[in-house]
């Protein structure tokens, strides 16, 4: 078991190092001279000498491994460099926006979790019934609707026509959170609901379910008490994957609802080709994905007695 | 005729509606430019924001462009984009994956490690970052998406290649003196390509969505070229007064994505054996009972 955990950690660290190289490599391979951009930012119409000075200051003339090391050693302190566009420190700006994104992701994850369990159980209560068919079609639609389209429709219906929620912003408390949460959580919730539904049906065809039924337990009791724990590990693994998908979704949903989060900042960085912001955003996102997957793997192992005994694969 | 029957038999296991939608999408995508009733790019501010009518079947947008024509032209944009991205990603993914499965050893290890990094993060984030570094533009979008998409193809084709390489007929070929190039190109590559192509079909929906999302964010297809995501973001400021211009491209896109996802789900279900449900079991029993003498091998059909 410990060996499994250690091998997972080792894999995660290798992935993190490779990912950081990717982030660094992307910016290094960018066309154009960074020093020129910064010189223009500081003093419009910079001279050649000034540009050279900045090149020296940024260490652009150092060999690549050294530059990589300089960049990487600054990362733990939150030193991601300075935005070419606004001139502010990228690390500090990202940190300020982290709570906004955390609010969005947390709420959306909770919504997705509830939705998937509700739809999945609703379908599994009466397999191949009318309700099951409806939830199936609903889940398929929800899993295929583009987030920006769903968001626009929610804004039109609930904000513009009914006026229940504000159309944008995050400064109106819970009322302003609801629509972004639904927009972001709908897709993962629907994808996961299929998994719950199919998993439950599979469990109910197993011998233990038949035994429990023969002993006189009502079907729903077996569904909730015996079948669900067996679905949980697969559900959790998929939930981790969907959380990464939701993080990507934040890049779409945050600008749509004008939330000042990390996703919106990353998007601005991409739109204005602000390399430092893109680099920092990419590294933060990827580190989050890798750590999340690590956490999910370990929790799944703790949950699943089979994996626990074998000590992993 | 036999070719048609073969095609029909091959498609019989898939959901009919999804196939019709995909067929429609392919048809409009291929022949759209010749089908549009109006020029999708022609602006006419005097006719801006019209409702559905006889001249403009689905009305016009805020610049007076015919929405119906733009929706059809957007199918073409989308289809061309999907084909280009899939083509590039498939060549890279199948090439590297098959190579990894053929070579094994350190070459496989290094290829798969890179693939792991690619798979550890969602494709859209990689594509976004690359567009952020290299700038927006049609080809930048295509290449960014292709580079973000190949790892999944690489993993699938490597799995297939390893399976094929372990089979005895490869051993026999070696003994018979077949050159490595012959084994790779004639015996290995076609097999992996076939398996991955099926897998790629299901990916087309996600790709259509990614292209639309990038265009929605202003990073993919640029105006005035009609594209569903771009049409949607274009009309978003006029959402309150004219929601139709937002709903129609959104619906078109959703329809295509639903169809591809549905197809992908049934491909996955067809390929992975699944415990049978109560109804299917009952139907099989009824079928089996109708036979006078059950054919050998089907007696235990319940467990199949």
pLDDT digits (tens, 9 = 90+) for A280-308: 888 888 888 888 888 988 888 888 777 67
Nearest residue in chain B measured CA to CA from A204: B277
**Are the Cβ atoms of A251 and B124 closer than 8 angstroms?**
yes
Give dist(CA A197, CA B14) in Å, integer. 21
Residues of B in contact with A248 (CB under 8 A): 122, 124-125
Q: What is the ipTM of this complex?
A: 0.84
Please tell me the least confidently modeled range out of A118-127, A264-273, B243-252, B292-301: B292-301
The pLDDT value given to residue B304: 39
Nearest beta carbon to residue A289 from set B121, B218, B229: B121
Tell me which of B123, B129, B241, B243 to substitute to probe the interface with A (most A C-beta atoms closer than 10 Å): B129
**Are the Cβ atoms of B253 and A245 closer than 8 angstroms?**
no
**Are the Cβ atoms of A31 and B213 closer than 8 angstroms?**
no
The pLDDT value given to residue B269: 66
**Are the Cβ atoms of B239 and A152 closer than 8 angstroms?**
yes
The pLDDT value given to residue B301: 47
The pLDDT value given to residue B296: 54
**Are the Cβ atoms of A286 and B131 closer than 8 angstroms?**
no
Q: Closest Cα to residue A90, out of A250, A244, A272?
A: A272
Among residues 37-96 of chain A, which lie with CB inside 8 Å of chain B? none
Give dist(CA A269, CA A99) in Å, integer. 19
Size of interface A-B (CB pairs under 8 A): 136
**Are the Cβ atoms of B250 and A149 closer than 8 angstroms?**
yes
Residue B183 is classified by DSSP as I
Angle at B90 between CA B84 and CA B95, to 5 degrees: 140
Give dist(CA A269, CA A279) in Å, integer. 9
Average pLDDT rounded to a whole number, residues A262-272: 88
Give dist(CA A258, CA A267) in Å, integer. 12
**Are the Cβ atoms of A270 and B279 closer than 8 angstroms?**
no
In chain A, % helix, strand, coil (3-state, to 5) comes to 80, 0, 20
Give dist(CA A272, CA B27) in Å, integer. 37
**Are the Cβ atoms of A152 and B128 closer than 8 angstroms?**
no
The pLDDT value given to residue B302: 46
Give dist(CA B162, CA B164) in Å, integer. 5
Nearest beta carbon to residue B132 from set A153, A160, A278: A278
Q: Distances from the Cα of A146 to the Cαs of A154, A215, B184, B207, in angstroms?
A: 12, 47, 40, 12
Spans of chain B below 50 pLDDT: 272-274, 301-304
Give dist(CA A105, CA A169) in Å, integer. 15
Q: Is residue A311's pLDDT more than 90?
A: no
Q: Is residue A258's pLDDT more than 90?
A: no
Residues of A in contact with B110 (CB under 8 A): none
Nearest residue in chain A measured CA to CA from B243: A156
Average pLDDT rounded to a whole number, residues A266-278: 86
Residues of B in contact with A267 (CB under 8 A): 128, 217
Distance from CA of B138 to the nearest CA of A (A): 14
Per-chain mean pLDDT for chain A: 84
**3-state secondary structure at position B55:** coil
Distance from CA of A91 to the nearest CA of B (A): 17
Distance from CA of B168 to the nearest CA of A (A): 27
- The tens digit of pLDDT for each residue in A170-207 reads 777 778 888 899 999 999 999 899 888 888 888 888 88
Nearest residue in chain A measured CA to CA from B275: A202
Q: Is any Cβ of chain B less than 8 angstroms from the Cβ of A149?
A: yes
**3-state secondary structure at position A89:** strand
Give dist(CA A161, CA A174) in Å, integer. 19
Q: Is residue B244 within 8 Å of residue B59, measured between CB atoms?
A: yes
Average pLDDT rounded to a whole number, residues A131-159: 88
Q: Is any Cβ of chain B less than 8 angstroms from the Cβ of A143?
A: yes
Nearest residue in chain B measured CA to CA from A145: B254
Distance from CA of B184 to the nearest CA of A (A): 30
Nearest beta carbon to residue A141 from set B243, B258, B278: B258
Angle at B232 between CA A248 and CA A190, to 5 degrees: 45
Cβ neighbors of A120 (< 8 A, separation 6 or more) are A192, A193, A194, A195, A196, A197, A199, A200
The pLDDT value given to residue B277: 63
Nearest residue in chain B measured CA to CA from A292: B120
Nearest beta carbon to residue A26 from set B129, B212, B254: B129
Residues of A in contact with B124 (CB under 8 A): 248, 251
- The tens digit of pLDDT for each residue in A71-90 reads 888 787 777 777 777 778 88
Distance from CA of B37 to the nearest CA of A (A): 26
The pLDDT value given to residue B293: 57
Q: Is residue A268's pLDDT more than 50?
A: yes
Residues of B in contact with A278 (CB under 8 A): 129, 132-133
Residues of A in contact with B133 (CB under 8 A): 26-27, 29-30, 273, 275, 278
The pLDDT value given to residue A313: 43
The pLDDT value given to residue B274: 47
């Amino acid at each position: 078991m410990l060996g499994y955990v250690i091998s997972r950690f080792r894999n995660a660290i290798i992935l993190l190092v490779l990912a950081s190289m990717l982030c660094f490599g992307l910016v290094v391979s960018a066309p154009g001279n960074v020093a020129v951009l910064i010189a223009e930012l500081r003093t419009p119409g910079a001279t050649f000498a000034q540009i050279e000075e900045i090149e020296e200051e940024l260490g652009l003339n150092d060999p690549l491994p050294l530059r990589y090391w300089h960049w990487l050693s600054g990362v733990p302190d939150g030193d991601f460099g300075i935005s070419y566009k606004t001139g502010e420190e990228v690390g500090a700006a990202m940190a300020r926006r982290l709570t906004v994104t955390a609010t969005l992701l947390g709420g959306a994850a909770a919504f997705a979790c509830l939705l998937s369990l509700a739809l999945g159980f609703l379908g599994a209560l009466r397999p191949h019934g009318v309700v099951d068919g409806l939830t199936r079609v609903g889940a398929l639609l929800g899993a295929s609707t583009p987030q920006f389209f769903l968001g626009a429709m929610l804004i039109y219906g609930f904000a513009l026509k009914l006026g229940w929620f504000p159309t944008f912003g995050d400064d109106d408390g819970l009322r302003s959170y609801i629509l972004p949460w639904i927009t972001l959580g709908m897709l993962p919730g629907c994808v996961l609901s299929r998994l719950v539904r199919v998993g439950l049906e599979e469990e109910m065809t197993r011998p233990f379910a038949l035994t429990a039924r023969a002993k006189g337990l009502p079907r729903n009791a077996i569904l909730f008490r015996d079948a669900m724990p067996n679905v949980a590990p697969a559900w959790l693994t998929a939930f981790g994957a969907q959380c990464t998908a939701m993080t990507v979704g934040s890049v779409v949903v945050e600008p749509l609802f004008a939330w000042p989060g990390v996703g919106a900042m990353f998007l601005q960085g991409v739109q204005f080709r602000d390399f430092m912001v893109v680099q920092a955003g990419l590294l933060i996102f990827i580190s989050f994905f890798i750590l999340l997957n690590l956490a999910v793997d370990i929790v799944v192992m703790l949950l699943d007695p089979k994996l626990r005994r074998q000590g992993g694969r | 005729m036999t070719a048609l029957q073969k095609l029909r038999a091959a498609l019989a296991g898939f959901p009919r509606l999804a196939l019709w939608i995909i067929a429609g999408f392919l048809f409009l995508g291929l022949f759209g430019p010749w089908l549009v009733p109006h020029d999708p790019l022609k602006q006419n501010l005097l006719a801006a924001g019209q409702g559905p009518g006889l001249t403009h079947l689905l009305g016009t947008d805020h610049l007076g462009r015919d929405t119906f024509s733009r929706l059809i032209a957007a199918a073409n944009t989308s289809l061309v984009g999907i084909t280009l991205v899939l083509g590039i990603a498939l060549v890279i993914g199948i090439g590297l994956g098959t190579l990894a499965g053929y070579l094994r050893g350190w070459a496989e290890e290094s290829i798969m490690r890179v693939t792991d990094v690619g798979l550890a993060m969602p494709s859209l984030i990689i594509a976004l970052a690359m567009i952020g570094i290299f700038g927006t533009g049609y080809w930048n979008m295509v290449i960014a998406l292709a580079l973000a998409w190949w790892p999944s193809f690489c993993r699938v084709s490597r799995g297939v290649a390893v399976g094929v390489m372990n089979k005895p007929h490869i051993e026999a070929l070696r003994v018979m003196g077949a050159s490595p190039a012959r084994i790779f190109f004639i015996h290995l590559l076609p097999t992996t390509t076939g398996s991955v192509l099926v897998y790629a079909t299901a990916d087309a929906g996600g790709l259509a969505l990614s292209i639309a999302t990038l265009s929605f964010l202003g990073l993919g297809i640029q105006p005035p070229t009609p594209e569903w995501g771009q049409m949607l973001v274009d009309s978003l400021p006029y959402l309150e007064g004219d929601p139709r211009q937002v709903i129609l491209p959104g619906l078109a896109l959703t329809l295509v994505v639903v169809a591809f996802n549905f197809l992908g789900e049934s491909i996955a279900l067809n390929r992975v054996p699944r415990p049978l449900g109560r109804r299917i079991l009952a139907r099989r029993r009824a079928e089996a009972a109708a036979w006078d003498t059950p054919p050998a091998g089907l007696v235990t059909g319940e467990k199949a």
